[in-house]
Amino acid sequence: MTKPRKAPRRRRAEVPELQSRLHAAEETLRAIRTGEVDALVVRGAGDEHLVTLQGADLPYRILLDQMYAGAVTLTPDGVVVYCNRRFADMVRTPVARIIGAALSRFVTRGAQPALANLLECATRDRVQGELAARAGDGTSVPISVTFAPLVLDGDASAKGVIGVVVDVTERKQQEELRNRLIHRAMTAQQEERRRIARELHDETGQSLTAILVGLRTIEESRTTGEAAALAQRLRGIAAQTLDEVGRLSRGLHPSILDEVGLPTAVTRYAYEFAHVHGVAVELRIEGLDAGLLPALLPTTVYRVLQEALTNVAKHAGARSVRVRLERTEAMVELRVQDDGTGFDPAAGAEGPAEDRHLGLQGMHERAALLGGSIQVESRAGAGTTITARFPVRGT
């Protein structure tokens, strides 16, 4: 009789605790519905797991899927629990086949030790490295990775690893292009030195030799009139030699750019070209008074103009040339259009037009070093148009 009376008292004592638990459960459900909770930590037998709630992480998934970089979330032992579409595109594998797989499956065998070391360190601190990813089609993709520990509020221990993955193929290609351009620039510089050395030997050296012989002849002259005639002839040779040295000097560095600026330098060179080669030049310059140009850009534009007009003189057989130099807010454009014989831009650098193709190659290399471009339009009998465009960046 006594025992049955104690049971209702125990149940009455449990009611407040049950009400408290019910209230906590209702608050948890309300927070989940309103999106205040993104994930839950589920405690199991000796382990904890991070569970992302369906729908609660939708804004984050949308954001990550729009990223240019790949994004992954990993368990502490490197299993992928989430990845965005960009990462799936990098490894050329559907997202469904990535989730639940070890990240090590998506790097080359040689990169797996480095990946393991990075992941071990990433549970404690932010780490970076470069690896070779292995795509689903068997190709290797160079990637740069950044890993960091995934830590929840109020808990110092890492529940996983988050990672950002960037495909560095483009960067590698740019580095290779830069190295090739540097090599070509050095080669072109050496060829230019050889050319100048030949001209100094063949032209200037011969002129100086002629002056030396002439001075000896003057010493042996029998009359003043004979000596005066020889001196006058030597004066002409000396003037010609001075012009040749000046031309070589301008070829090494167009000092006129420092003295009068690009517009005036281009104007003088165009009219000098017309006078020397007998080719009519129509020149138009616009917008070059809108402030300073970035370093190296004036010299590059001037060199491209020189090369383009040299090709006209050597190969085009043109009667007239139109030169337009224009600056906008974002770009400097040089266009050289002739009415000459034209050629096939796709033809190889062989035969009589070899010098022209080498000149075009030099233009492309100069433009590429400044982030610019060269466009060549030509066909037989229809003349040639060369358009060089250079971005205007900070001075």
Instruction: Report the alpha-carbon distance of residue 212 to residue 376 in Å, rounded.
Output: 47
User: Residue 264: how many CA atoms within 13 Å on its side-chain side?
Assistant: 8
pLDDT digit string, tens, across residues 334-371: 999 999 888 877 664 444 444 555 567 778 878 887 88
Per DSSP, the three-state class of 41 is: strand
Residue 246: how many CB atoms within 10 A of its CB? 11
Instruction: Report the alpha-carbon distance of residue 122 to residue 217 in Å, rounded.
Output: 87
CA distances from 92 to 15, 24, 67, 170, 322 (A): 57, 45, 17, 17, 51
Instruction: Report the alpha-carbon distance of residue 322 to residue 280 in Å, rounded.
Output: 8
pLDDT digit string, tens, across residues 294-333: 778 888 899 899 889 988 888 888 899 999 999 988 899 9
Instruction: Report the alpha-carbon distance of residue 129 to residue 354 in Å, rounded.
Output: 46
Which segment of 2-11, 76-85, 317-326, 365-374 scores lowest on mean pLDDT?
2-11
Q: Kindly compute the dihedral angle of the four CA atoms of residues 86, 91, 93, 96, in this order, to the nearest 10 degrees.
A: -60
Instruction: Report the alpha-carbon distance of residue 20 to residue 322 in Å, rounded.
Output: 89
Whether the predicted pLDDT of 13 surpasses 70: no
Instruction: Report the alpha-carbon distance of residue 305 to residue 300 in Å, rounded.
Output: 9
Whether the predicted pLDDT of 287 surpasses 80: yes
Q: Considering only CA atoms, which of 357, 362, 311, 304 is closest in space to residue 335?
A: 304
Instruction: State the DSSP code for 104.
Output: G
pLDDT level of residue 31 (50, 70, 90 thresholds): low
Q: Considering only CA atoms, which of 272, 275, 306 is closest in space to residue 388?
A: 306
